[in-house]
Chain A
């Protein structure tokens, strides 16, 4: 039950994109097509879970005992960056098609606050997560990211077929859609 609550909270109530404002760049950048957004979600999910696992260990078994929590940012980003690069290399070999689809966006995961943000949040004091909870939290957030970006991609594909007025075409309309989506998701307020 605990885990389900964490996941519902992360997916619906405190959605990483719509409520926490993390990972907005890929949210806007990679959401033009449903297929790419699915791929991106997969990549994010993989990296986010792995990164949280590793950084959780680093935080609790290196930084805290040594009293050097202030190195959190820099050590985390090192881990995230290397992980992403690893995923990139592996993907290129294992699934060139997916690699082609995600193109330049894989490196962008490095500079994606969603990953770093979630790794930092998962060790936040007032959550007091243990390792498993931390990882579940990461998975929940990744699911939240996936849900929103796929929904969003669907709407953007739909808008592609409509003649949106010139001034609003592209990013502005997309942002307003995100805004309305965030409005709608407020309905989940306080669900858990």
Chain B
């Protein structure tokens, strides 16, 4: 698989949210708006890439028995760094994402990639993989956030699309599940079309 494919697969074919169904909690929890989704996606990308780099660097130094705990510590460190930096410089976003920032640490996506990819590949591939997956994650969150924002509030990135209130459900918890459900279905269809063309 070429590096380019390694990078692009995260968007549709192996989209972490739509296809792999990983990292769903933040995907549902913070996507009340496209902006929050994007912010969360980028924060996760940062953690993913950084921890991929470190894991691929230290993979040979760690005995297998404590591999997972060590990786977790690495990931947790980057999460804490993100937390601290965001609180210092982007306090509004920090407020909005709330609990879900520390929870990046348990995002199955991050751990999964560290385990399955970074610990077996060289640093360069790990970076590409992390970027691809991370951006795919951000892509999914932005779309879901956008959908919920449009339907729920009649806005997108804060820009008004139609006047009046939207359907409140989409801002609330059920809307997240429902929106994601139909997006996954849609992604399946798109993926099938792509596969047919390929």
A29 at the interface (CB under 8 A from B): yes
For B22, the chain A residues whose CB sits under 8 A away are 25
A81 at the interface (CB under 8 A from B): yes
Contact A72 B102, beta carbon cutoff 8 Å:
yes
Contact A120 B99, beta carbon cutoff 8 Å:
yes
For B73, the chain A residues whose CB sits under 8 A away are 74, 77-78
Contact B177 A175, beta carbon cutoff 8 Å:
yes
Number of interface residues of B (CB under 8 A): 42
Which residues of B12-46 are within 8 A (CB) of A? 21-26, 28-29
Contact A73 B83, beta carbon cutoff 8 Å:
yes
For B69, the chain A residues whose CB sits under 8 A away are 78, 81-82, 85
Complex Cα gap A23–B21 (Å): 12
A-B residue pair count with CB separations less than 8 angstroms:
128
Complex Cα gap A173–B169 (Å): 18
A57 at the interface (CB under 8 A from B): no
B189 at the interface (CB under 8 A from A): yes
Contact B21 A121, beta carbon cutoff 8 Å:
no
| Nearest A-chain residue to B74, judged by Cβ | A74
Contact A111 B108, beta carbon cutoff 8 Å:
yes
Contact B29 A21, beta carbon cutoff 8 Å:
yes
Query: By DSSP majority rule, is chain A's interface helix, strand, loop, or mixed?
Result: helix
For B174, the chain A residues whose CB sits under 8 A away are 179-180, 182-183, 186
Number of interface residues of A (CB under 8 A): 45
Q: A19-B173, A111-B107 are in contact. Are A70 and B189 (CB under 8 A)?
A: no
Q: A70-B84, A111-B107 are in contact. Are A28 and B24 (CB under 8 A)?
A: yes
Complex Cα gap A25–B112 (Å): 13
The digit string for B175-198, where 1 denotes a CB below 8 A from any CB of A, is: 111101110110011000000000
Complex Cα gap A112–B105 (Å): 9
Which one of A39-47, A127-135, A164-172 contacts B? A164-172
| Nearest A-chain residue to B182, judged by Cβ | A172
Contact A73 B72, beta carbon cutoff 8 Å:
no
| Nearest B-chain residue to A165, judged by Cβ | B185
Contact B178 A176, beta carbon cutoff 8 Å:
yes
For B96, the chain A residues whose CB sits under 8 A away are none
B175 to chain A, nearest CB (A): 7
| Nearest A-chain residue to B169, judged by Cβ | A183
- Among all A-B residue pairs, the 4 with the closest Cβ atoms: A175-B181, A179-B177, A179-B178, A21-B29
**B-contacting residues of A (Cβ < 8 Å)?**
18-25, 28-29, 70-74, 77-78, 81-82, 85, 107-108, 110-113, 115-117, 120-121, 167-168, 171-176, 178-180, 182-183, 186
**A-contacting residues of B (Cβ < 8 Å)?**
21-26, 28-29, 68-69, 72-73, 76-77, 79-80, 83-84, 99, 102-103, 105-108, 111-112, 169, 172-178, 180-182, 184-185, 188-189
